[in-house]
């Protein structure tokens, strides 16, 4: 269409793709998504091509004529991403994707960079598990190297008696064993790195998980921020530079005795950054697009205090959510399903106390109380 804006091709069409579209449409962008589901959430904001993400030809066709191709799911197979990347610039690049989709490659790179990570060991075969437990001790966390998300594909090992069950549950696939970190809290930092290497980091966020799934975030993270912010910033920048990452990058962290350990990376927009839609001057989604298009980045400053609560399984009552002062509802347009992320609510406030009050009110609605 004449006069229509540049096309961004996106591998994956879930809620992250949908929110990329919602951020990009005001900038004059158009979107195409590749997703195996005809009901993909992103179909509301762009053209959906229904195909397996293992279909390299479909990915190449998606990218044809686009100004840039990106991904909203880190499970996109490397060959799919590379095939798309042959037709339009792939940002972030395939290496960022491939490192982040293998927990062993990820932790090995972090350790090589001298960044703090929990002790870890590769596990190959049942005998290898005994050996790794012998080295790291218990408690420990056994995880699949690939394909895990929202706490799926991992088991906590507390006693030697847990090994057989965990081994059977995870299957005979490449695994990684990690020391179980008795953290004081979990944090996340969202960085955005532009095409010219300029990097900006959003305020550090406190994250709360239940059953391995993100439940809530508080931004900026409560407590004295400066030291943690500087340390998290330095980690995110080091990783982004190493990967020559372009776009949004999330780094999940554990805080223990005032020190940070890196848990995992996501080379994409991330659930712990959803608060930025209303809570920052420029959202992680808009900044991802600005970065991959080579445009100037927007300010990552927080506007006041924000809290975010995920809606899992089913959406909360719309009118009760909207009745909470400062609340913003995000309905991903997905069908209900146990544990599925179907939406989120962000609450914004001028003070951290008002934010916490709003957060409590939202949680009561989301929990159906």
Ligand X SMILES: Nc1ncnc2c1ncn2[C@@H]1O[C@H](COP(=O)(O)OP(=O)(O)O)[C@@H](O)[C@H]1O
Contacts with ligand X by CB under 6 A lie at: 118, 141, 148-151, 178, 180-181, 186, 209, 212, 252, 263-264
From the CB of 252, what's the least distance to Mg ion, in Å?
Answer: 5
Structure tokens at 147: 């394909």
From the CB of 331, what's the least distance to ligand X, in Å?
Answer: 23
Smallest Cα–Cα separation from 306: which of 346, 250, 366?
A: 346
Region for residue 308 given its phi and psi (left: phi exceeds 0; alpha: psi -120 to 50; beta: otherwise): beta
From the CB of 173, what's the least distance to ligand X, in Å?
Answer: 15
**Residues ≥6 apart with Cβ < 8 Å to 54:** 77, 80
Please check whether residue 229 is in contact with residue 204, taking contact to mean a CB–CB distance below 8 angstroms: yes
Please check whether residue 327 is in contact with residue 333, taking contact to mean a CB–CB distance below 8 angstroms: no
Is the Cβ of residue 179 or residue 356 nearer to Mg ion in the bound state? 179
Question: What percent of the residues of the chain are helix, what percent strand, and what percent coil, each to the nearest 5?
Answer: 35, 30, 35
Q: Look at residue 97 and give its three-state secondary structure.
A: helix
Out of ligand X, Mg ion, none, what residue 209 binds, judged by CB under 5 to 8 A for its kind, is ligand X
- The burial of 263, by beta-carbon neighbours within 10 Å (0-12 exposed, 13-18 middle, 19 or more buried), is given as buried
Is the Cβ of residue 98 or residue 186 nearer to Mg ion in the bound state? 186
Out of Mg ion, ligand X, none, what residue 180 binds, judged by CB under 5 to 8 A for its kind, is ligand X
**How far, in Å, CA of 34 to CA of 132, rounded?**
39
Omega cis (within 30) before 220: yes
**How far, in Å, CA of 327 to CA of 320, rounded?**
10
**Residues ≥6 apart with Cβ < 8 Å to 254:** 118, 181, 183, 186, 187, 260, 261, 263
Contacts with Mg ion by CB under 5 A lie at: 252, 264
From the CB of 87, what's the least distance to ligand X, in Å?
Answer: 30
Is the Cβ of residue 23 or residue 129 nearer to ligand X in the bound state? 129
Is the Cβ of residue 186 or residue 286 nearer to Mg ion in the bound state? 186
Is the Cβ of residue 118 or residue 228 nearer to ligand X in the bound state? 118
DSSP 8-state code for residue 26:
G
Please check whether residue 212 is in contact with residue 218, taking contact to mean a CB–CB distance below 8 angstroms: no
Is the Cβ of residue 153 or residue 326 nearer to ligand X in the bound state? 153
From the CB of 73, what's the least distance to ligand X, in Å?
Answer: 12
DSSP 8-state code for residue 280:
B
**How far, in Å, CA of 307 to CA of 344, rounded?**
10
Out of Mg ion, ligand X, none, what residue 128 binds, judged by CB under 5 to 8 A for its kind, is none
From the CB of 346, what's the least distance to ligand X, in Å?
Answer: 20
Is the Cβ of residue 118 or residue 220 nearer to ligand X in the bound state? 118
**How far, in Å, CA of 249 to CA of 201, rounded?**
9
Is the Cβ of residue 162 or residue 264 nearer to Mg ion in the bound state? 264
From the CB of 137, what's the least distance to ligand X, in Å?
Answer: 13
From the CB of 257, what's the least distance to ligand X, in Å?
Answer: 14
Out of Mg ion, ligand X, none, what residue 106 binds, judged by CB under 5 to 8 A for its kind, is none
Out of ligand X, Mg ion, none, what residue 346 binds, judged by CB under 5 to 8 A for its kind, is none
From the CB of 337, what's the least distance to ligand X, in Å?
Answer: 17
**How far, in Å, CA of 31 to CA of 17, rounded?**
9
Burial 72-86 (b: 16+ CB within 10 A, else e): bbbebbeebbbbbbe
Is the Cβ of residue 178 or residue 286 nearer to ligand X in the bound state? 178
Out of ligand X, Mg ion, none, what residue 150 binds, judged by CB under 5 to 8 A for its kind, is ligand X
Out of Mg ion, ligand X, none, what residue 17 binds, judged by CB under 5 to 8 A for its kind, is none
Out of Mg ion, ligand X, none, what residue 181 binds, judged by CB under 5 to 8 A for its kind, is ligand X
């Amino acid at each position: 269409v004449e006069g229509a804006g540049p096309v961004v091709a996106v591998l994956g069409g879930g809620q992250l793709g949908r929110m990329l579209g919602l951020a990009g449409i005001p900038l004059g962008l158009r979107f195409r998504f590749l997703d195996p589901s005809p009901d993909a959430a992103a179909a509301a904001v762009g053209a959906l091509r229904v195909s397996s993400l293992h279909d390299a030809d479909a990915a190449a066709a998606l990218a044809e004529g686009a100004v840039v191709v990106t991904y909203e799911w880190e499970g996109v197979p490397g060959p799919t991403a590379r095939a798309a990347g042959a037709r339009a610039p792939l940002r972030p690049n395939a290496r960022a994707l491939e490192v982040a989709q293998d927990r062993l490659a990820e932790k090995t790179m972090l350790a090589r960079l001298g960044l703090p990570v929990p002790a870890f060991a590769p596990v190959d075969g049942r005998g290898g598990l005994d050996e790794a437990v012998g080295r790291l001790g218990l408690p420990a966390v056994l995880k699949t190297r690939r394909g895990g998300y929202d706490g799926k594909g991992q088991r906590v090992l507390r006693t030697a008696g847990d090994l057989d069950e965990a081994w059977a549950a995870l299957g005979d696939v490449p695994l990684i064993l990690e020391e179980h970190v008795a953290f004081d809290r979990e944090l996340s930092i969202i960085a955005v790195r532009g095409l010219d290497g300029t990097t900006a980091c959003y305020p550090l966020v406190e994250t709360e998980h239940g059953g391995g799934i993100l439940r809530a975030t508080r931004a900026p993270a409560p407590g004295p921020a400066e030291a943690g912010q500087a340390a998290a910033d330095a980690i995110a920048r080091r990783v982004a530079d190493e990967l020559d990452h372009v776009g949004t990058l999330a780094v999940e962290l554990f805080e223990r005795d005032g020190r940070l350990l890196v848990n995992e990376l996501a080379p994409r927009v991330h659930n712990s950054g959803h608060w930025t839609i209303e809570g920052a001057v420029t959202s992680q989604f808009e900044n991802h697009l600005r970065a991959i298009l080579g445009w100037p980045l927007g300010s990552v400053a927080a506007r006041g205090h924000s809290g975010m609560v995920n809606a899992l399984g089913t959406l909360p009552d719309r009118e009760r959510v909207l009745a909470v002062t400062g609340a913003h509802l995000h309905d991903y347009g997905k069908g209900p399903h146990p544990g599925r992320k179907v939406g989120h609510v962000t609450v914004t406030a001028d003070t951290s106390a008002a934010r916490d009050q709003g957060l409590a009110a939202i949680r009561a609605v989301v929990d159906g109380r």
